[in-house]
Structure 1
Amino acid sequence: MDEIVKKLAGLGLPGVILVILTVTSGGSSAAVAAAITALGGPFGIVGGIALLGLITVVGDAVAGYGLEAIVNAIYKERSKTESVQVLLQEIKDLPISDELKLKLKNELSPENFTETQEI
């Protein structure tokens, strides 16, 4: 088991996702291939493998800069081309802490949100 764990750990987050896909699919290689194909959407298995690679890049960025900095930068960039009201509603529905929602809303909105206002 130690050898398998070392190899999967070398893959990083995609390795963890592969283990989860394997377990949830009952260990069938055909089911794992189907799950990766489903992840790839219209691009099939190639898209699924590319998505696993993208997860690695995103995971490295989050590890380097932190989730708050990455999400904040994404919403600042999106606010240049999208409605701030739409983004604020989107932030409200994100599965993140209320503290992070408050910080993101304060960065986007000219009015300051307080902890007593609806997040």
Structure 2
Amino acid sequence: MGYDGLKKLEPMKEDNQLLVITHLSQLITLVIGFGSLIVPLILWLTQKDKVYQMDAHGKNIVNFQLSLIVYCIICVPLILFFGLGLLGFAVLGIVGVIFPIVNAIKASRGEAPSYPLSFNFIS
């Protein structure tokens, strides 16, 4: 009869489409030049308590994007060593496009994402 002030817990919904969009949102950098960390971070933070598996996928994406930033910083001084940094930037660019697509496909199938060489910043 009375309202006790507690919010009713809503069950988490399964939304593979949103997980796919979250993975593909990393590619926004190809269109506007930035946002590969910002957009997935916002999606993860706003949906992690509402969508089943969003927390795990979001953490993997953020860890991957932060790892790419660290690797890019490492590549800058490597440019002086026979241009190895330029090769590193090329490899990172390819990896930064391929793995979000692969993991978006995995997410659509309900599989767990896997981003290689990612540091575990957020666990």
Kindly indicate whether structure 1 or structure 2 has the higher relative contact order, using CA contacts under 8 Å at least 6 residues apart. 2
The TM-score, its normalising length taken from structure 1, stands at: 0.30
In our comparison, the structure showing a higher alpha carbon Rg is 1
